[in-house]
Amino acid sequence: MSLDALRDEVCRANRDLAAAGLVSLAFGNASGLDRRSGILLIKPSGIACDAVVPDDLVAVAIADGSIVDGNLRPSSDTPTHVELYRRFPSIGGVVHTHSSYATAFAQARLAIPCLGTTHADHFDGPVPVSRALADEEIDGDYERATGIVIADTIDALGGDPLAMPAVLVASHGPFTWGSTAAEAALNAQAVEIVAALAHRTLTIAGDAAVLGDRLRQRHFQRKHGPRAYYGQPAGSTSPTASTESSRS
């Protein structure tokens, strides 16, 4: 993907966060990475996600975090994004929001429990919460320390960031990622959905049981496993799309 194409994708990811109701004011940000050049593009600091245009995005080198292109300050969370890209070579997009339900779990310092199959369709187990940052981390390189605790949380689960593409940062909010910026934004939507469902379920029944391993694995594997059969094969076209294409 060219940097111009990446600009369009990252801009769209930021706007998708706003359209989905996951961000308000200037909270939140999305970035995308071109691995070949080692350049990430990220939303500028203090600009609302739905106001971003491609030319606003700031280009940052993941090698040293320096700005290589752009007239605006990058998001204050840029060092967090940089750290995640460095630690996880398989990811190509990172998103941070302050979406209401997921942030409530983060502020409570609680993982989002897997209570039903909707959660298991997207996440193989509870969405984890990080440890709290130590005073010296808060007073020091705070944003990079945030990236480190996120990555350490994933490493403790087995180290595959695409198997669990989200972490709640204690007292802060959710960070998500994916192979692309678009995928990271989709995962941010999924985190908010399962957080809202968990909150409502626990409000109805505070002793609601977590989903059993067998049913959880069946739902997760049918969408994400090596023999996944949910959805359509890559490159396939729906009959409706084919018909519309033949008419154009």
Comparing CA positions, the residue from 69, 62, 51, 64 lying closest to residue 4 is: 69
Burial class for 216, CB neighbours closer than 10 Å (0-12, 13-18, 19+): buried
Q: Which residue has the tokens 């199959």?
A: 117
From 50, 55, 213, 230, the catalytic residue: 230
Q: Is 121 a catalytic residue?
A: yes
Note whether 147 and 83 are within 8 A (CB). yes
Could you tell me which residues come within 8 angstroms of residue 1 by beta carbon, excluding any fewer than 6 positions away?
9, 34
Q: What is the DSSP string of 108-148?
A: TT--B---SHHHHTT-SSPBPBPPPPPHHHHHSSHHHHHHH
Which of the following is catalytic: 121, 141, 160, 213? 121
Does 230 qualify as catalytic in the annotation? Answer: yes
| Residue in the block written with tokens 């968990």 | 198
Question: Which of the 8 DSSP states describes residue 51?
Answer: G
CB 129 within 8 A of CB 104: no
| Residues with Cβ within 8 Å of residue 150, at least 6 apart in sequence | 80, 83, 84, 130, 167, 169, 175
The beta-strand segments (E) located in 130-202 are 166-169, 173-178
d(CA 80, CA 87): 11
Q: List, by residue number, the catalytic residues.
A: 121, 230
